[in-house]
Amino acid sequence: MRGEITLSILNVLAEATNEAARFASYFFTDFTTSYSRLRGFRTTVPKKFTPEERRSVEKQRFYLMLSKLKREGFIEKQNHEWRLTKHGMEKRRTLLEKRARAFPIPTYQAGTSSSSEFKIIMFDVPERERRKRAWLRSALRTLGFTPLQKSVWGGNRSLPKAFFEHLEAMKLLSYVEILAVTKRGTLKSLA
């Protein structure tokens, strides 16, 4: 989801205690030193980062994101502490609402209604929709299904109407196939 990093930083700042905010402000005060170290960093990205290079790149990304959030008016620094502005609180609320609409939290009742039929749920969600695929796996796990393979799940559970409504809202119905097995196979008994 767009804005995921922004939302993460805004969440941390909103929920941070004064001590954590004070630590962060002390941590970020020595910008000159970190800038001079990163200035000599190679522009071509090596295939394997050393731990020090990885920390350096992540630190630079974080500084850039903080700078962007400050420029856009979402955060401000007061008395050596980073805080959300009124505009930042509104942005955070908007991003949380957007996330809730895009990916409903799978809160189905797990294991309350078993079924006489064994259901096999197969799905082939494209890579560009990988977050939806992760949501689907989480929902199936919540419903009490177990993975037979990464994209094949099975279980003796009935599927609630809300699950199908979520699949339709997320435009996943065309990627999901559900089979009801009334009679089990006999291959295990032959072996």
pLDDT in tens, 136-163: 998 898 888 999 998 999 988 888 888 8
Of 30 and 129, more confident: 129
pTM of the predicted model as reported, rounded to 2 decimal places: 0.48
Which percentage of the chain shows pLDDT scores above 90?
A: 20
Q: Are the beta carbons of 80 and 22 closer than 8 angstroms?
A: yes
Token pair recorded at residue 119: 């259901």
Helices and strands (H, E) in the chain, number of each type: 8, 6
Q: Are the beta carbons of 142 and 107 closer than 8 angstroms?
A: yes
pLDDT tens, residue by residue, 88-147: 999 988 888 877 666 777 777 644 566 678 899 999 999 998 888 988 998 898 888 999
Query: Mind listing the domains of the chain with CATH numbers?
Result: 4-102 (1.10.10), 114-190 (3.30.70.240)
pLDDT value for 181: 84
What average pLDDT does the structure give for the chain?
77
Strand partners of residue 123 = 176
